[in-house]
């Protein structure tokens, strides 16, 4: 079992009957969805909502009950991955491009468990370029405003085309270098009208589960 899978297997032990569960996105969340499917097959009674079309499709293929957002009041537990985790459990997310939906799920969850391998742990955020989701309209001007905050934003491209999120938006990957004050940067980014959301998750994670290549698991 690899490190991501180990963390995911540990996270799914936190599931309980009748929970509304938020499904994350990415390769680590993939393992969690597999683990959730195994528990559902064993008889665990849960309902889920997904942070991406990809995760929703996977859940449905694996027989996990997915429900519309209109049918729930909130989420009991979301299990998701991250690109970076610092000592205060602040995160960078959005490497997979699902940051806006992931943040909506996280902010509506009673508990957010983040699952990572050891490579994601950092003392300070910022080695991983911060993903920022922006509207396509006048994106060049939005890029300029984001640049003025002290980075060199790169419009994300996938398979030779501009990457488009599940929400029809673009992603800027913004290498800020060390981010000393994530909460302040968050406020500045959100003040730019074309910015839909960004991948800084400040004070959102309750627990981080870290899997290691030696086969151990620990909690932060
Ligand atoms: C997707 C995310 C992912 O959680 C993040 O990119 C980590 O991905 P992986 O588990 O594949 O390393 O934020 O938007």
Are 20 and 112 found together in one domain? yes
Are 107 and 170 found together in one domain? no
Question: Which residues form ligand 1's pocket by a CB distance below 6 Å?
Answer: 24-29, 80-83, 93-99, 102
Q: Residue 52: which CATH number?
A: 3.40.50.1360
Opening angle at CA 134, ends 128 and 135, nearest 5: 160
SS3 annotation, 48-105:
EEECCHHHHHHHHHCCCCECCHHHCCCEEEEEECCCEECCCCCEECCCCCCHHHHHHH
Q: Residue 146: which CATH number?
A: 3.30.70.260
Helix (H, G, I), strand (E, B) or coil at 134: strand
Are 84 and 117 found together in one domain? yes
Q: How far is CA 73 from CA 23, 77, 134, 176, 200, in A?
A: 16, 13, 28, 36, 25
Backbone angles phi, psi at 71, to 5 degrees: -95, 0
pLDDT score of 134: 98
In a domain, 177, yes or no: yes
The closest-lying atom of ligand 1 relative to the alpha carbon of residue 93 is: 13
Give the domain range for residue 184.
130-197
Residues above pLDDT 90, as percent of the chain:
100
In a domain, 17, yes or no: yes
* Count of positions (residues) in the chain: 220
Distance 5 CA to ligand 1 centre (A): 13
Residue nearest to atom 8 of ligand 1 (CA): 26
Q: What is the ipTM of this complex?
A: 0.98
pLDDT in tens, 142-158: 999 999 999 999 999 99
Identify the H or E element spanning 130: strand 130-134
The closest-lying atom of ligand 1 relative to the alpha carbon of residue 81 is: 4
In a domain, 220, yes or no: no
Are 193 and 207 found together in one domain? no
Report the number of distinct structural domains present in the chain: 2
- Please tell me whether the overall predicted TM-score, pTM, comes out greater than 0.90 for this model: yes
Distance 79 CA to ligand 1 centre (A): 11
What mean pLDDT value characterizes the chain? 98
Active site residues: 102
pLDDT in tens, 30-66: 999 999 999 999 999 999 999 999 999 999 999 999 9
């Amino acid at each position: 079992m690899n490190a991501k899978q180990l963390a995911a297997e540990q996270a799914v032990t936190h599931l309980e009957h009748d929970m509304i569960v938020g499904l994350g996105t990415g390769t680590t969340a993939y393992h969690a969805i597999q683990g959730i499917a195994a528990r559902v097959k064993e008889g665990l009674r849960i309902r889920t909502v997904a942070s991406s079309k990809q995760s929703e499709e996977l859940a449905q293929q694996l027989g996990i009950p997915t429900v519309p957002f209109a049918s729930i009041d909130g989420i009991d537990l979301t299990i998701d991955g991250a690109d970076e985790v610092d000592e205060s459990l602040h995160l960078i997310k959005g490497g997979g491009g699902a940051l806006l939906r992931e943040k909506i799920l996280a902010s509506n969850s009673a508990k957010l468990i983040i699952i990572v391998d050891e490579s994601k742990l950092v003392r300070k955020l910022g080695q991983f370029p911060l993903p920022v989701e922006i509207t396509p309209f006048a994106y060049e001007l939005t890029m300029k405003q984001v640049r003025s905050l002290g980075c060199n934003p790169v419009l994300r491209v996938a398979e030779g085309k501009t990457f488009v999120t599940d929400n029809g938006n673009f992603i800027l990957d913004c290498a800020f270098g060390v981010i000393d004050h994530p909460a302040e940067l968050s406020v500045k980014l959100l003040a730019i009208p074309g910015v839909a959301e960004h991948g800084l998750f400040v004070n959102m994670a309750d627990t981080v589960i870290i899997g290691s290549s030696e086969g151990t698991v620990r909690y932060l």
